[in-house]
Amino acid sequence: MTMARRPYRRRKDVTVLSLLLLLVAVALGPTPSSAAAADWWNPTARPAPDAQINVTGEPFKGTDSAGDVRGFVDAHNHLFSNEAFGGRLICGKPFSAAGVADALKDCPEHYPDGTLAIFDYITHGGDGRHDPVGWPTFKDWPAHDSMTHQANYYAWIERAWRGGQRVLVNDLVTNGMICSVYPFKDRSCDEMTSIRLQAKLTYALQDHIDTMYGGPGKGWFRIVLDSAQAREVIKQGKLAVVLGVETSEPFGCKQILDIPQCSRADIDKGLDELYDLGVRSMFLCHKFDNALCGVRFDEHGLGAAINVGQFLSTGTFWKTEKCTGPQKDNPIGLTESDAEEDLPDGVEVPAYDENAQCNVRGLTDLGEYAVRGMMQRKMMLEIDHMSVKATGRVLDIFEAASYPGVLSSHSWMDLNWTERVYSLGGFVAQYMHGSQEFGAEAKRTDALREKYGVGYGYGTDFNGIGDHPAPRGADAPNPVTYPFKSADGGSVIDRQTSGQRTFDYNTDGAAHVGMIPDWIEDIRRVAGQGVVDDLFRGAESYLGTWGASEQHRAGVNLAKGRPATASSSESNPFTSYQPGRAVDGDDDSRWASDWSGEQSWQVDLGATHLVSRVTLDWERAYGKSYRVELSTDGVHWQTAWSTTAGDGGLDTARFTGTPARHVRIHGLERGTDWGYSLHEVGVHSA
């Protein structure tokens, strides 16, 4: 799919065939741009015919007065999902060396009238019928509510960049089970094979664009491998492209009948491979529960279809329980779905208690190993699509390590977690809703962004099997008027034209990725300049999270291997629950107290340190009310931190740095009928 150069020589006798070949080359090959050479943002040669950009003016460069980069961030997009799900679910390509007519054409089975656009009517309703012709007429697609047609053509991405976007996260995506049940496919359903191909094609797209601009490194589409490189790209006025992964069975880590199909070695090998491909952020679970974590359910008809896929992939349907806190997973779609026809005879989707909305499955031991492996590699973890139980554990782990690399990129986490993400130094983006809904949600979290001094992002999820902002209508109050100025004020944006069709946001909505500038202008008119200002600070905040993750250094656990004592230890003839088991560095061992009254555990650090953080990884027998106490001599104690609302799991006690040689956990009230039990205690200096 990369553009190839074919040398030719003049011949004195020109045949009819060579004339025809020459005409084809002129039609499909790059043509000189009419722009002046000084206009670095315009290519020296662009394929003709092609979609138009319809933006004039130089893209802004440099940083603001504080040295921060400027610009919008699309934190969640899928440029090459046309290569996923067997290669025939999303129709059309982001680019083609053969030109726009080859790139923007429908899948063969959609002809003549879309009758076989099966995935459209499974997930969206209706009969799926549409005019399949893409270039040059585009009668029915791209469209804001079309789930199976290319929305990320490179020239449309270029328009988004010209309109002020400076970071684009390309999530490499697929789902092996959806691929296997979808009747049309032209390649393997192996998820990692598809991920590798999509990464390769992202680099090929970079090369394709570089060719238009005169050679390697000269184009505006730049894949970046670290935050410093991204900052430099944005300072040049170009688009920093980050690779992520969103798939249901990364590294082959599926589970069948609750039995993991991968090992720690598979996880290490998989993370290393993805990192070498340039991947810097990823989801550990997506649509189906896997060997790493439980998922946040889908809703409505899509949820019913995905639950069927969950059974076909894993042998189990989703299982729910009553939630223990304010956080909840999405209600499972209970509507009937054509996908149920794929179930074996006698198997039915179970009924669910509407008062039990949380996935029973959280972060598994293998999942925790993968989380810590990502931290070691300075990668960012996407928590959208994780069950609230899994998300809570991830945030506990990150808080215990003060690791900032947590992302919520498209509104798929419980919003009650937002402040925990911000307090870690993480980044939050909202799904690309219509301007009214987007503005309302932005307003809801505005105080938190002000408190933590962060910008905001959007996750378009184009090519991600979801709807996009519908048109408000030409007669809606305060419509987008063309032309309008970009958010930075330096460019003029007019209606976008592709072939014979001109797109107007008022009547077409967000039909493709090139309509992002128009959508942002609609947000400005409907929700106000303040929302746009927060979005314009999005690139800086995203890179801040990335950079802090790269700079993170694992803290030294001052308690590891040090002498420990306790008020009591549970007796067991088969294993040891002695105090030292809580500082032996083994997450599988533990200290356990007697099953009575107040109990205490303490460790001697060997020397006085300035202590400011203590982490406690509780076993099921946890402390509901307890104190963290410090001492320099082991005789006189002071309380540094306390709680009366402990709920088990991984607790992090933070407090002002205090000199201490001895640290004591003083249990006042048990959370269960058992005693107090700790897998590991960590003590960290200021």
Low-confidence winner among 44-48, 564-568, 581-585 (lowest mean pLDDT): 44-48
Same domain assignment for residues 367 and 491: yes
Q: What pLDDT score was predicted for residue 181?
A: 85
Q: 228-241: buried (b, 16+ CB within 10 Å) or exposed (e) per residue?
A: eebbebbeebbbbb
User: Measuring CA to CA, which residue among 248, 250, 50, 230 is closest to residue 158?
Assistant: 50
In this prediction, residues 104-132 reach a mean pLDDT of 86
Cβ-based neighbours of 261, under 8 Å, separated by 6 or more: 252, 253, 254, 255, 291
**503 lies in a domain?**
yes
Structure tokens at 419: 């402040």
Same domain assignment for residues 100 and 239: yes
Q: What pLDDT score was predicted for residue 609?
A: 95
In three-state secondary structure terms, 14 is coil
**64 lies in a domain?**
no
The whole-angstrom separation of Cα 543 and Cα 533 is 17
- Cα 282 to Cα 285, 385, 585: the distances in Å are 9, 11, 27
Q: What pLDDT score was predicted for residue 344?
A: 87
Structural domains in the chain (count): 2
Structure tokens at 361: 């499955």
Same domain assignment for residues 543 and 667: no
Residue 269, pLDDT above cutoff 90: yes
* pLDDT category of residue 3 using cuts at 50, 70 and 90: very low
Q: What pLDDT score was predicted for residue 337?
A: 65
**37 lies in a domain?**
no
User: Measuring CA to CA, which residue among 575, 478, 570 is closest to residue 521?
Assistant: 478
pLDDT, one tens digit per residue, over 35-46 is 444 699 999 999
Residue 520, pLDDT above cutoff 50: yes
* pLDDT category of residue 123 using cuts at 50, 70 and 90: low
* pLDDT category of residue 127 using cuts at 50, 70 and 90: confident
Q: What pLDDT score was predicted for residue 370?
A: 98
Residue 105, pLDDT above cutoff 50: yes
* pLDDT category of residue 333 using cuts at 50, 70 and 90: confident
pLDDT, one tens digit per residue, over 409-436 is 999 999 999 999 999 999 999 999 999 9
Amino acid at 237: G
**CATH code, 626:** 2.60.120.260
The whole-angstrom separation of Cα 191 and Cα 400 is 33
Residue of 257 and 467 predicted with greater confidence:
257
Cβ-based neighbours of 223, under 8 Å, separated by 6 or more: 202, 203, 206, 241, 242, 243, 278
Structure tokens at 572: 């067991």
The average confidence (pLDDT) of the chain is 92
The whole-angstrom separation of Cα 615 and Cα 632 is 19
Task: Give burial (CB, 10 Å; 0-12/13-18/19+) of 502.
Answer: middle
Same domain assignment for residues 371 and 483: yes
Neighbours of 346 (CB within 10 A): 5
Q: What pLDDT score was predicted for residue 2?
A: 30
**350 lies in a domain?**
no
Same domain assignment for residues 510 and 367: yes
Same domain assignment for residues 476 and 568: no
**18 lies in a domain?**
no
Amino acid at 230: A
* pLDDT category of residue 335 using cuts at 50, 70 and 90: low
What is residue 131's DSSP assignment?
Answer: -
**CATH code, 234:** 3.20.20.140
In this prediction, residues 306-322 reach a mean pLDDT of 93
What is residue 623's DSSP assignment?
Answer: E
Whether the Cβ atoms of residue 363 and residue 296 lie closer than 8 Å to each other: no
Residue 32, pLDDT above cutoff 80: no
The whole-angstrom separation of Cα 201 and Cα 92 is 14
**242 lies in a domain?**
yes
Same domain assignment for residues 222 and 272: yes
Considering 529, 551, 573, which residue would you say is the last residue of a domain? 551
Cβ-based neighbours of 6, under 8 Å, separated by 6 or more: none
**46 lies in a domain?**
no
Whether the Cβ atoms of residue 4 and residue 29 lie closer than 8 Å to each other: no
**117 lies in a domain?**
yes
Q: What pLDDT score was predicted for residue 598?
A: 95
Same domain assignment for residues 490 and 618: no
Residue ranges with strand state E in 78-215: 165-174
pLDDT, one tens digit per residue, over 202-226 is 999 999 999 999 999 999 999 999 9
Amino acid at 106: D
User: Measuring CA to CA, which residue among 27, 54, 43 is closest to residue 486?
Assistant: 54
Same domain assignment for residues 384 and 497: yes
The whole-angstrom separation of Cα 354 and Cα 358 is 10
* Tally of residues, the chain: 686
Residue 23, pLDDT above cutoff 60: no
Considering 551, 577, 598, which residue would you say is the last residue of a domain? 551
In this prediction, residues 264-287 reach a mean pLDDT of 97
Same domain assignment for residues 578 and 650: yes
Same domain assignment for residues 614 and 511: no
Q: Which residues pair with 245 in a beta bridge?
A: 172, 282
In three-state secondary structure terms, 650 is strand
Q: What pLDDT score was predicted for residue 432?
A: 98
Neighbours of 403 (CB within 10 A): 25
In this prediction, residues 58-86 reach a mean pLDDT of 96
Cβ-based neighbours of 148, under 8 Å, separated by 6 or more: 89, 90, 91, 107, 110, 117, 119, 120, 465
Domain range enclosing 455: 72-294+361-551
* pLDDT category of residue 336 using cuts at 50, 70 and 90: low
Cis peptide before 136 (omega within 30 of 0): yes
Same domain assignment for residues 654 and 546: no
HSE, CB side, 13 Å, CA atoms: give it for residue 588: 4
Residue 134, pLDDT above cutoff 90: yes
In this prediction, residues 361-377 reach a mean pLDDT of 97
Task: Give burial (CB, 10 Å; 0-12/13-18/19+) of 335.
Answer: exposed
Considering 551, 579, 614, which residue would you say is the last residue of a domain? 551
